[in-house]
C-alpha cells in the first residue's frame, strides 16, 4: 500500500482528503504545517507528497524543495488556489510533478496521484535498467565484470582500430559472433559491411563459391556471375565462423586471399583485388587440428596474429549475475513486461549451474523464465533448472535447448570423454597405449584429456 503525505493546514480539507484517499486504498499521513511536513518527509515515510502552497511555518515551495532534496524520486503534487497559476508554474519549475487547483476535483486528483506513482515506478525501472546496462564494459551489448572479460573487452577495443586479423577462440555460446561484430562496429570500417559466413553450415562443395563467387558458366548451373562473400565484404569485415571446419584445399585459397589481398572467382581468369579485414572464429582447438594435420599450420599462424580467447562461463562466474540481470531487463523490454527481481537462491542456482552452452544457454533460460514467471520476483522454481550430478553424465543429460550442432557436439564430448576415461583405465593410465587403442595421435589424446579434464 502506498503512503501519501498530505500537507494541509485547513482541518476540514485535510479530513476530506484523508477519507477520499483512504477509500482508494492509500495510507494517509497528515501534516498541519510545512515544518511538520518536512520532518515527515525526512523520516522517509511518504511515497508521494500532496501539499498546499500557503502554509504556516514554511510554505509549500519549501516542502517541495525539502522533498526533492531528500529523495528526488518522490513525486510532489501541489494544491493551489484557483487563479494563482503563476505560483503553480513556479512550483513545477522547482520540480513539482504537477499541480491541482482548489476547489479540488477529486477524480482529477486521483488520476494525478495514480499517474505520478506509475511514473515513479517507470523512472525507478529505468534507473535499474541503466544500472544493468552499465556493465557493458564500454562496448554496446556486451556485459560482464570479471577480470577475464574486462581483459577481453580491452583487447577488442584495441585491436578494432587496426586492420589486424583477429582469431576468436571459445566454446559454443561464449559470444564469438558478438565480439566479432563489436570489433567491426568499433573499427574505422564500420560504415562498410560486416559479412558473416559459417563454414560449418555450408556444404563443403559449395563453400568455395560462397566465399569467392563464380563467373557465368563456371560450372553447370552457374547461369549468372555471382559475387562471393569476400567481394561483398570489400572494405568491410569478413567473419569466417567455425573456420576449423574448412577443408585443406580451401584453406590454401583463403591463405592466398589473406596474403595477397586477391581472390579468384570460381571459373575466373583474372584475380580480383579485395580490401578485407578478416575475423575468424573457432570452437575447435585449432592447434590440435594443426597437430592432427586437419588444419594448415601456415594459415593458423596467419590467422593468429591477434588471438582472443573468450573464456567459458564456468571460469568467470562473476559475470553470471550481471549477465542474468542484463537479459532480464532486455527480455522485460522485449516482452513488454515489468522488470523482475531475482531471489538470492535463484541467483545461486544460476551461478553454480554447469553452463555447457555458456552465455547462450543462460540467455535461453532467462528468456524462458521471463515467459513463465508471473510474479514480480524470479524464484528458484521459475528457473526450472536442476543441478545435475556431474559424475554419471550420460548423453541423455544433454540440455535440449541448443542447436542441432551444439547437441551433437555435446554428445560427442560426453561419448569421447567416457571412452577416453575407459581407455585410460584399461591401460592403467598408459597414454601411449590408450592413444593406440583409440587410434588417435598421442598429442590429440593429450589435448582431449586436458579439454575433458580427465587428468587425475
Ligand atoms: N558478454 C556478453 N554480453 C551480452 N550478451 C552476450 C555476451 N556473450 C554472449 N552473449 C549473447 O549470447 C548469445 C551467444 O553468443 P554468440 O552467438 O556470439 O556465441 P558464439 O560463441 O558465436 O556461439 P557458437 O560457437 O555456438 O556459434 C548471443 O545472444 C549473445 O548476444
Ligand atoms: Mg557463433
Q: Which cell goes with 395?
A: 548423453
**CA 345 to ligand 1 centroid distance, Å:** 25
- For residue 144, the ligand 1 atom closest to its alpha carbon is 1
Question: Distance, CA 257 to ligand 2 centroid (Å)?
Answer: 23
Q: Which residue has the cell 591463405?
A: 255
Residue 391: predicted pLDDT: 46
The whole-angstrom separation of Cα 6 and Cα 28 is: 7
Q: How far apart are CA 144 and CA 397, in angstroms?
A: 28
Residue with cell 579434464: 453
CA dist 65 → 58, 62, 96, 249, 364 (Å): 11, 5, 9, 75, 46
Does ligand 1 come within 6 angstroms of the Cβ of 178? yes
Across the beta sheet with 166-169, the strand order is: 194-198, 237-241, 277-282, 166-169, 306-309
Which residues have C-beta within 8 Å of that of residue 222, sequence separation ≥ 6?
Answer: 209, 214, 215, 216, 266, 267
- Burial of residue 270, with CB atoms counted within 10 A of its CB: 0-12 exposed, 13-18 middle, 19 or more buried: exposed
Q: Which ligand 1 atom is the nearest neighbour of the CA of 176?
A: 21
Read off φ and ψ for residue 101, nearest 5 degrees: -95, 150
Q: Whose CA is nearest to atom 8 of ligand 1?
A: 175
Please work out whether the CB of residue 244 comes within 6 Å of at least one atom of ligand 1: no
Identify the structural domains of the chain with CATH numbers, from first to last: 3-123 (3.40.50.2300), 148-311 (3.40.50.300), 314-383 (1.10.8.60), 398-451 (1.10.10)
* Buried/exposed 122-134: b ≥16 CB within 10 Å, e otherwise: eeeeeebbeebbe
Residue nearest to atom 9 of ligand 1 (CA): 175
Cβ(112)–Cβ(100) under 8 Å? yes
Query: Dihedral (C-alpha) 53, 59, 61, 67: value to the nearest 10 degrees?
Result: -110
Is the whole-model pTM more than 0.85?
no
401 lines ligand 1 (CB under 6 A): no
The C-alpha cell that represents 444 in the structure block: 590429440
> What residues contact 369, with CB distance under 8 A and at least 6 apart?
378, 382, 383, 384
Span from the CA of 120 to the centroid of ligand 2 (angstroms): 40
Q: Which atom of ligand 1 is nearest to the CA of 180?
A: 18
Ligand nearest to the CA of 140: 1
pLDDT at 148: 92
Q: Which ligand 1 atom minimizes the distance to the CA of 141?
A: 4
Tell which atom from ligand 1 comes closest to the C-alpha of 172: 25
Q: Which residues contact 129 (CB under 8 A, 6 or more apart)?
A: 329, 333, 339
Mean pLDDT by 10 residues, the chain (456 residues): 91 91 92 90 88 87 89 89 77 88 89 89 73 70 91 94 95 96 96 95 91 89 90 96 94 94 92 95 92 95 94 92 93 85 91 92 95 90 71 65 83 88 87 93 92 78
Ligand 1 atom 25 nearest Cα: 172
**CA–CA gap between residue 416 and residue 403 (Å, rounded):** 20
As residues whose CB is below 5 A from the ion ligand 2, the structure lists 176-177
Phi, psi of 222 (to 5 degrees): -85, 75
Question: How many angstroms does the Cα of residue 196 sit away from the middle of ligand 1?
Answer: 14
**Cα distances (angstroms) measured from residue 46 to each of 15, 29, 63:** 18, 8, 13
Pocket flag, ligand 1, residue 329 (CB < 6 Å): no
Check residue 310 and give its pLDDT.
96
CB of 359 shorter than 6 A to ligand 1: yes
Distance 298 CA to ligand 1 centre (A): 29
Contact predicate 45/70, CB 8 Å: no
For a ligand 1 pocket test, name from 144, 148, 175, 316 the mutation site with the most ligand atoms within 8 angstroms of its C-beta.
175
Q: Distance from the CA of 177 to the center of ligand 1, in angstroms?
A: 6
pLDDT value of residue 392: 52
Contacts for 72 with CB less than 8 Å, ≥ 6 apart: 95
Give the side-chain half-sphere CA count within 13 A for 157. Answer: 12
- Rg of the chain over Cα atoms, rounded to whole angstroms, equals 32
| CA separation for the pair 34, 49 (Å, rounded) | 12
User: How many angstroms separate the CA atoms of 306 and 337, rounded?
Assistant: 42
The reply to whether ligand 1 has any atom less than 6 angstroms from the CB of 213 is: no
Ligand 1 within 6 A of CB of 320: no
Burial of 338 (0-12, 13-18, 19+ CB in 10 A): exposed
Residue nearest to atom 13 of ligand 1 (CA): 360
Amino acid at each position: 500500500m502506498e503512503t501519501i503525505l498530505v500537507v494541509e493546514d485547513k482541518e476540514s480539507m485535510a479530513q476530506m482528503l484523508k477519507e477520499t484517499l483512504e477509500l482508494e486504498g492509500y495510507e494517509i499521513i497528515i501534516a498541519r504545517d510545512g515544518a511538520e511536513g518536512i520532518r515527515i518527509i525526512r523520516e522517509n515515510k511518504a511515497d508521494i507528497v500532496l501539499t498546499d502552497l500557503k502554509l504556516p511555518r514554511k510554505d509549500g515551495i519549501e516542502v517541495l524543495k525539502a522533498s526533492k532534496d531528500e529523495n528526488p524520486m518522490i513525486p510532489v503534487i501541489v494544491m493551489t488556489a484557483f487563479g494563482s497559476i503563476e505560483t503553480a508554474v513556479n512550483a513545477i519549475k522547482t520540480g513539482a510533478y504537477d499541480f491541482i487547483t482548489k476547489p479540488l476535483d477529486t477524480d482529477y486528483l486521483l488520476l494525478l496521484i495514480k499517474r505520478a506513482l506509475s511514473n515513479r515506478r517507470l523512472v525507478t525501472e529505468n534507473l535499474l535498467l541503466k544500472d544493468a546496462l552499465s556493465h557493458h564494459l564500454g562496448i554496446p551489448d556486451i556485459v560482464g565484470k570479471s577480470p577475464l572479460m574486462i581483459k577481453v573487452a580491452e583487447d577488442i577495443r584495441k585491436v578494432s582500430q587496426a586492420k589486424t586479423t583477429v582469431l576468436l577462440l571459445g566454446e559454443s555460446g561464449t559470444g564469438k559472433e558478438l565480439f566479432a561484430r563489436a570489433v567491426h562496429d568499433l573499427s574505422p570500417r564500420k560504415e562498410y559491411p560486416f559479412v558473416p559466413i559459417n563454414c560449418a553450415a555450408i556444404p563443403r562443395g559449395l563453400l568455395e563459391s560462397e566465399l569467392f563467387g563464380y563467373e557465368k558458366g563456371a560450372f553447370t548451373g552457374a547461369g549468372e556471375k555471382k559475387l562471393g562473400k569476400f567481394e561483398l565484404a570489400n572494405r568491410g569485415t569478413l567473419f569466417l565462423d567455425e573456420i576449423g571446419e574448412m577443408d585443406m584445399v580451401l584453406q590454401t585459397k583463403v591463405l592466398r586471399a589473406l596474403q595477397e589481398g586477391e581472390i579468384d572467382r570460381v571459373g575466373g581468369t583474372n584475380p580480383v583485388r579485395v580490401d578485407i579485414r578478416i575475423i575468424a572464429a573457432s570452437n575447435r582447438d585449432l592447434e590440435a587440428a594443426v597437430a592432427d594435420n586437419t588444419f594448415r599450420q601456415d594459415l593458423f599462424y596467419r590467422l593468429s596474429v591477434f588471438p582472443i580467447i573468450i573464456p567459458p562461463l564456468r571460469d568467470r562466474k562473476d559475470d553470471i549475475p550481471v549477465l542474468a540481470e542484463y537479459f532480464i531487463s532486455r527480455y522485460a523490454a522485449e516482452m513488454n513486461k515489468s522488470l523482475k527481481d531475482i531471489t538470492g537462491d535463484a541467483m545461486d542456482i544460476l551461478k553454480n549451474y554447469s553452463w555447457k552452452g555458456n552465455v547462450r544457454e543462460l540467455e535461453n533460460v532467462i528468456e524462458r523464465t521471463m515467459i513463465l514467471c508471473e510474479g514480480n520476483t524470479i524464484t528458484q522454481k521459475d528457473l526450472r533448472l536442476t543441478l545435475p550430478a556431474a559424475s554419471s553424465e550420460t548423453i541423455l543429460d544433454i540440455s535440449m535447448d541448443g542447436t542441432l550442432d551444439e547437441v551433437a557436439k555435446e554428445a560427442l564430448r560426453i561419448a569421447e570423454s567416457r571412452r577416453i576415461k575407459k581407455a585410460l583405465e584399461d591401460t592403467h593410465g598408459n597414454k601411449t597405449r590408450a592413444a593406440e587403442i583409440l587410434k588417435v595421435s598421442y598429442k590429440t589424446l593429450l589435448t582431449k584429456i586436458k579439454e575433458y579434464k580427465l587428468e587425475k
